Structure 1
Amino acid sequence: MRRYYLFLFPVILLCALPLYPWPSLPGSGLTVTINLLTCFVAGLWGLGLCFSLPWRRLRFGAAGRMLFIGLILLNLPGLWTPAPFRSEAIYRLAATAGFAFLLWMLLQLPVRGDQRRGIYGIVVVAALIQALLCLWQALLPLSAAHWLHYNPLVSGGRATGAFGQANLLGSFLACGMLCALWLSVTIRRKAISYLLLGCVVVLCVALMLSESRTAWLGAAAGLFLLLWSADRSRSRILIIMVLGAGLLAGHGARMLRPTILPVTASLAAGSAVQTPSTRNQPAKVEDRLSEDRHASNKERVALIRGAWAMIVKDPLWGQGTGTFETAFPVALNQLGVANPFPVTVAHPHNEVLYAWVEGGSVALVGLICWLMLWALPFRFPRRGLARGAFSLPLMAHVMTEYPFYLSALHGVLMVVLLWLALPVSARRCDFPCRHRKSVRAVLALGCMGCIAFMFTGLQSAWLIRKAEASGFVTPEPLAQVWNIYAQPERLQFDWAVTDLMQFNQTQDPRWLARFQRNAGDWLTRHNDPNLTETMIRIAAVQQKRALAEAWRQRGCLSYRTDQRFHCGTASFFQPESFR
């Protein structure tokens, strides 16, 4: 039974769920369909572990101490978070606790030899599936647009796999490639070894096509450690030769990629709806990539400067959990730095900065505990060092973006790789479990709660997508939502838009009052140009000059290049222009 749980759920999570890009709401967290499905299956996995683990003695050790001390410290700032943001602190506590307890339960199951290699093989197969999707999207974008809901105009010609984002695809591919390389030089059966070397070439080609600099950095760091830990010079030569073949094949595949972004009516409409910033951008793929990277470099500098200014303002206690999105534009304005982002920014693209900005020194120490947990395998030579290297692409991604907020599947992958990499000496049996029935019951109840929450969350997300697709002509889909806590921010935003649509149809002032209440509350925690502009128009028509000017200044903080906010003028108030 234990062997059954070792392999079944990793196959479902890593291979079956991302077989296809699921229809989804845009955004992160539980608004994304695959994240809901991932957490649902992870809850089932945890429930199965509750009834299959040997509970007589618990493995804790250094790994367990770092895991739970880090969990407590990371979430402690929720106690002094401002009231409007406390719900975000609760969601973050639930997410971090869920993954922490899943890892802790897996650490009760030491895996060695063929079992460990089998799970690494599952990671390789999962990466190969994404590599095939990557090749399809990069080389046949119109076909992928028809079958996979892929929009090359939104992604700039970069493949996104089943994750909807190029860097998520890249880090996933890089982890799979490192696992395949290690298996190919350590496995004794030559036929399987040669097959794995072929997989490395395919994954290297897909990694090149992903155009993810973050993934390339993580893969390069992991390859360096694999070469250093290889116990034979023959293995090093083989790794270098295979990588050389993969790089040559990758360059050839890039030459086969269409040079011009394909444009159809449906793709153009999808691009205009999802990302207005993609308008008037180069049609050539290489030109688009170059422009995007130049903009990314400029934006990253602004992120670091703004985040550091927020840290300096309160390095001990932080700004509060979930406050970065609204506080960041204010910090840039106080620095005298023009906001270069065409969309709102909810994360500084570096987890250390993020923890320090929002949670202060307490959360920073908690994150350091987790980083020390991640670094435990690197203390052991050869095999331990190599297994620790497999997660380097994910760690590079964590330090340059926010993958675990965008993709719960990447969180599961990190948990699995840590479970396999942590040495048994770091999780030795420390104490007997005298209250094993109580511990198992609490964990089982938590898993069942997670399963029920995600199941109802899937229904809620489907109804929200239905309401948005219909243009909010009726409030009925939103009123039928079962779980109002699964996507609360998205639901409140859509209710605000629905209220405005109903007011436009009926001219009933009660709908307008509801809109102002919902939109005003939502804008205390987030930024949105359309809602902000509507609040300006309403204040202007109602002759509330000070309120209109306050909303205009708020819009200029986050969207300086948006002409609707007249950011280049000191005064703009002309009521007739908003009627």
Structure 2
Amino acid sequence: MLNNLTINLSSKILFIAYFLIALHFPLKHTGGHGLYLPFNIICWIFISIIIGLGLFKIGISRKIYFSKYFLNCCYGFALILIPLTYYNNEHSILSFNKIAGFGFGIILLFALKQFRFNKKDNLHLIYLILMGILIQGLLKLCTQTLPNSQFLSLISNLDFGAMAQKNIFATFLATGITISLALISLDRDHSKFKNMIIFSIPLVGMTQFYPLQSKMGYISLFLGVGIGFMASMKKGKTIAIWMGCLFFGYLIGMNINRLDRSNTDIKHSISTRISTYLLTCEIIKENPFFGIGYGNFLSTFRKHYADRKASDSSIQTIGNNNMNHPHNEVLFWIVEGGILSFLGLLVIAGGLIATLWNGRRKKGWIFLSMIIPILVHTQLELPFYISTIHWFIFIFIIFMIDNELGNEYELDATKLGFLFKSFSIICTSFNLIYFSTALHTAILITKFERTGRIDPSILVKVKNSHAWQKKYETTIMKLDLEIAKATKDKDKLSSYVNWAKNYLNHSPYLFIYYDLAKAYELLGHGEKGWEIYNQAKHLYPGVDWKDD
């Protein structure tokens, strides 16, 4: 029979398995975000089991533990959900993963509370997270310094791993570095092994900052380490050694080839980001109370940008990429959900600030420094959508803050024991099936695309198209169109036209405009085809259009 000790031990073994092994599997993919990236699916499998164990423990202990901050999160999330009832949410299903991910984070916070981890347990787990970060840094360093090594063949697919995007990798390392600094003050038991991890993180991590040339990484590191230093409860020799490792690591990194970008590219990137923020704020001003509706950012932003560009040519040309996110997490929730979503975020953030402020303030600042790199990243990009491990680490550090500084409450759950056991087993089983089939789908679609899209029979084996909703749907419809064009099947062409017109209402992808225009042309509706073509020209002024 499972008991409290067995469940806690299982959770620690799970941490070991994920952070020391599973995190580092380089799985090939076709790009994108969320569940399109297989390493994110693996992380969600890990999170699902952790949540399941936490809920199962309620059934064993017959007690429910929660905090005041958890209640703040529930109140805030309830406010975020209310906009789903608004009139403008006909495409809210497109935000399912975004909203579900937020909810899972709150449930994860609650589940972690049930394990009753003490300070020693929390430190053991945070050291495991640091070891995972250290392994990622060492693997990358090996590919850079041992180019002719046979070891390279084992990790040659690292560019398909969780840290392939440079800003994601940079804030991952920056988070590890700030955590290592915080542990100098938070952990009184500095064994030789722990010291090795604490000093290795800045040494190895800093070797990557010069090669990466990530402004995001530098900003997040500077702020995180700066706050950590100001709040540090230990000075002297230990801090001096840590600083020496930080400096020496950067010197080593200066001898590694860096990822250079031209000044023109850098200026264009900055201008595009600023323009994105300004245009998003304009949309918010037009829809301050109700927002534009969950799932509508992609289409609304593209249309607003096109209209503004048509009336004012001085506006920065943003390009042809699909703008799914304004590169600022707060703006994203406000623009889609309106004032209530903003209030929900304020309730959640305010609860965390209150927890830090009401606790031991110096220790609170140290804890705050640990989440600063990821927090800063969320205001300048979209790390939680690209890397689920960033989301997990963020939630775990908040759990540590709440566990150390927050108020805790206890409820008797004697009569609910069986219910929680059953619920945890059912939910965990469902999640494992869902994410396992999502991983299988990811492998199949990646295989289909990387083999030249020549074998549609691969797609027949897909078991979970929901996880790849938009990618799978557009791929299938593209294949149908190709068959219709080859066979001159007007029924199939008409079917594609009807689908494309509806699809473009929420996802105005350039390639669909092109295919829709072709479909109209093949149906003998040339004028309608040109109308679609001109709509695309309006929405995508950055394309080098050639009127044939």
Alpha-carbon contact 1:376-1:422 (below 8 Å) kept:
no
Map of 1:399-438 to 2, 5 A cutoff? Answer: 399-424=379-404, 426-433=406-413, 435-438=416-419
List per-residue Cα deviations over 1:353-410 (Å, max 9, x = no partner). 1010000011111122232344355323233321232111110111111111112221
Kept in 1: contact 2:319–2:543 (CA 8 A): no
- Change beyond 3 A, Cα 1:232–1:37: closer
Q: Cα RMSD over matched residues?
A: 2.8
- In the alignment, what sits opposite 1:40? 45
Gaps of 5+ in 2: 1-5
Inter-partner Cα distance in structure 2 for 1:76 and 1:447: 27
CA pair 360-444 structure 1, distance change in 2 beyond 3 A: farther
Query: Which of 320, 325, 344 is equivalent to 1:366?
Result: 344
- Give the aligned length: 530
Q: 2:271 aligns with which of 289, 292, 298?
A: 298
Distance 1:36 1:113 in 2: 30
Q: Please say if 1:29 is aligned against 2:34.
A: yes
> AA paired with 1:395?
L
CA distance in 2, matches of 1:479, 1:81: 37
C-alpha distance in 2, partners of 1:425/1:299? 41
Secondary structure at the aligned position of 1:256 is classed as coil
Query: Could you tell me which residue of structure 1 aligns to residue 54 of structure 2?
Result: 49
1:23-172 equivalent positions in 2, closer than 5 A: 23-53=28-58, 55-80=61-86, 82=88, 84-138=90-144, 147-149=155-157, 162-172=162-172
Unaligned runs of 5+ in 1: 152-159, 259-284, 567-571
Taking a change above 3 Å as real, the CA distance of residues 405 and 222 of structure 1, as seen in their structure-2 partners, is same
| 2:250 maps to 1:250 | yes
Q: Which amino acid aligns with 2:48?
A: G
- Specify whether residues 70 and 483 from structure 1 end up closer, same or farther in structure 2 by C-alpha distance, changes over 3 A only: same
Letter of the 2:192 partner, please give it.
A
**Structure 1 CA distance, aligned partners of 2:94 and 2:398?**
27
Match of 1:555? Answer: 536
**Residues 323 and 14 from structure 1, CA distance in 2 versus in 1: closer, same or farther, beyond 3 angstroms?**
farther
Which residue pairs with 1:269 in the alignment? none
One-letter code aligned to 1:197: F
In structure 1, which of residues 325, 328, 335 is the aligned counterpart of residue 301 of structure 2? Answer: 328
1:262-277 residue pairs with structure 2 within 5 A? none
Within 2, Cα distance between the matches of 1:468 and 1:562?
A: 24
- Aligned partners of 1:34, 1:81: CA distance in 2, in Å? 36
Shift of 1:121: 0.8
Contact 2:328 2:378 in 1 (8 A): yes
Q: 1:401 to 1:139 in 2, by over 3 A?
A: farther
* Distance change in 2, residues 1:439/1:363 (3 Å): farther
Q: Distance in 1 between matches of 2:124 and 2:168?
A: 24
Q: Equivalent residue of 1:560, what SS?
A: coil
Range 444-453 or range 142-151, more displaced = 142-151
TM-score, normalised by the number of residues in structure 1 = 0.84
Change (3 A) 1:443 1:521: farther
Distance 1:124 1:234 in 2: 23
Q: How does 1:129-528 map to 2 (within 5 A)?
A: 129-138=135-144, 147-149=155-157, 162-184=162-184, 186-189=187-190, 191-192=192-193, 194-195=195-196, 196-234=198-236, 238-239=238-239, 242-257=242-257, 285-286=259-260, 288=261, 290-335=263-308, 336=312, 337-379=315-357, 380-424=360-404, 426-433=406-413, 435-528=416-509
Q: CA shift at 1:545, angstroms?
A: 5.6
C-alpha separation in 1, matches of 2:194 and 2:503: 55
Following superposition, the deviation at residue 310 of structure 1 comes to 0.8
Displacement of 1:134 in angstroms is 2.9
CA distance in 1, matches of 2:506, 2:154: 37
1:519-548 per-residue CA deviation (whole Å, 9 max, x = no partner) reads 333332223222222222333454546633
Match of 2:513 in 1: 532
State which drifts further: 29-38 or 201-210. Answer: 201-210
Deviates more, 1:166-175 or 1:55-64: 55-64
2:483 is matched by which residue type in structure 1? Q
| Larger RCO (CA under 8 A, 6+ residues apart) | 2
Q: What is the CA–CA distance in structure 2 between the aligned matches of 1:227 and 1:191, rounded to whole Å?
A: 23
Whether contact under 8 Å (2:89, 2:295) holds in the other structure is no
Structure 1 residue 141: Cα displacement:
7.5
